[in-house]
Chain A
Amino acid sequence: MRTLNTSSLDHLAVGAALLGAGGGGDPYIGKLLASWAIETYGSPQIVDPSEVPDDALCVMTGSMGAPTVAIERLPGGDELHLALLALERYLGKSITHLVGMEIGGINSMLPIASAARSGLPLVDCDGMGRAFPELQMCTPSLFGILASPMVIADAKGNTVVIDSADNHTAEKMARLITIEMGAVSYIALYPQSGKSLKESMIPRTLAFAENIGAVIAHARAKKVDPLAALLEVTRGVRLFEGKITDVDRRTVHGFARGVVSLSGIGPDTGSTLKVKFQNENLIAEYNGIIVATVPDLICFIEPSTGTPMTTEELRYGLRAAVIGIPCDSRWRTDSGLQLVGPKYFGYDLTYTPIENFVKPT
């Protein structure tokens, strides 16, 4: 059990931006929110999954919607608290623990704020280990755990209970309600026991993200190569270093899809890398040959500072290092790949774990 302070939030924000794999929204607003909640209500207790009793009632919290709206209609601060109260009324039981939905991007911070606000302990784990665009893309889905009953809430005090038969349907209904709620909503979902949490959730991702941020800050302070330090802490693979030569964006069904092209510098001089994205980075091709695919993480980093770069900020002329980070092993199972593998995103290819790819020479 531990608590959080402001400097751990700073590190966490950097790590969460990296684990967003290009998407997930900028954690800046989330960090302000978490620091407000900690100042106002005190730091939540962060507990290890092994400390959670088997009969605990654990609930995921997060937000969904458009990051562009999230930077304008900021949270009121009570949304997730109201969502939890409504879920308790519906379940007729008290929630004992909160867990994170998505460690990548802005959703890394919301559970911290909601745990501080509600006074519940936060379990150090999440349901993605990265960022994904849809709410059924959480590891509990692989263990037959329903997102429902879930509650979706807004700042005006509206709460809606969704009790759907499957998680894809929950996603579709929640997305529609989110638009009605002004394109950003706050959700409490995947109620589950402490026993199932230990199996279904990805453990210690808060500590992991915080550690990533600390390693980058340390490398910067010591003026050593942040990339090498980053690869070590993430067990990552260096894919490429180059200059962005093109960013081709278009919107398909509300998702920002596109391709980033880079031309190599340093050891990659003469080579090219193409990264295909749909909010998050999905596929990396080195000289036309695939070297990384979703659900492994493909991340852009500013090479001199180690600062993670989201797809929104990529533009022609920027220097970037691209690394691959292995995803959680739960995603590498057949059912995991069915839910979040390359085929789900429209690419007809077989997933190969990033550490098994051989980069062409």
Chain B
Amino acid sequence: MFGLSRKDTLLLIFVAIITFAAPILMNPFPTESSLAQFNAGYPDLMQRFVIFGIFAIGFNILFGLTGYLSFGHAAFLGAGSYACVWMFKLLGYNILPGIILSVIVSAIFALAIGYISLRRSGIYFSILTLAFAQMSFALAYSVLGTDMFGLKGGLTNGETGLQVYNSDPQIFHSDSAPDLPHLFGIPMRTTEVVQYGAWEFQFNVGFYFCAVVMLIAFYLSIRIFRSPFGLMLRAVKTNQNRLNYTGVNTKPYALAAFVISGMYAGLAGGLLSAMDPLAGAERMQWTASGEVVLMTILGGAGTLIGPVLGAGLIKYFENIFSKINEGILKGWFEFLPDTLGDAVVWVLYFFTGSGWHLTLGLMFMLVVIFLPGGLVEGAGRLFGIGRRKKKTPASKTQAAE
């Protein structure tokens, strides 16, 4: 179906079902129960799942296929965010022009940065991309955020972040259209709350919009993975020298992968702004670049489902871990004797709440040390699939047709 093999079609359908059912699946605990804090079915959190999923899917096209490790992909996320807010300011709150522009802007940006960075490979490439991203961050934070060309607050509005003001032109804005991001009049913020017994589920327009976009992005990435183009990208990772002597010009292939992944990042950035019309420079910081790397390797670089899985897990844990405070911990360990309970709470407290980054860093290390192939490979090993020889796409029969 959709021109995919049977296995890939099933994967796509599976991801689609999970995504569309997320508002239910993510809220397995009744609202009043003590476990409700593990629920993740809130619109803004679920939007993040899918948006960062797009970011990671795109990153995987570069890192997973070609092996080029970019440490500066947040620059494209940020550029996309700014571009989208600018469309809100100039044209109005319909999100389509904004999202289209964020993809275009990040593509141009990625073409320029990629063209230069790809002149070097290995660690030099990583450091160059990191330097470019830090430079973009510094520029967005300072000089591009000062008044220029008669623009108050410049292109990025510096520390405050770019946002929409009443005085902005918004030339296509009509009184009938909502005064916040919308798609042809349907506000992104609209949420249908459904009570079902003790449970409560929130169905949010913005989430479903992002989910559809993610599924399209995922579908396109499967096509790239399975195409001759994707095969060439994997060959770039495996042996560039041989590929050159095979009559293939490797540089444009790597650059194409870089630009495509930059466009995915820009799309994710645009969607972030479409959900919440505010763009700040911190989206370009190296921590954001590091986060997408982690998502990809945690799930499994070079696998299809890995990055989506990694993005979901990281964002889920980020939300849960940072919500847990001392009070909640105390509540959990009440059953322990006082001193022991206090000790446990004291230790766990380092890893939760504002200590979430410690957990993140540890996870990063543990995955790289023990599970370089990510969770997908780990699961494969667990179920004994890993022992079988890796099957290649060409090995499957034509049964799918």
Query: Do A and B belong to a common assembly?
Result: no
Q: Which residues of B line the A interface, CB within 8 A?
A: none
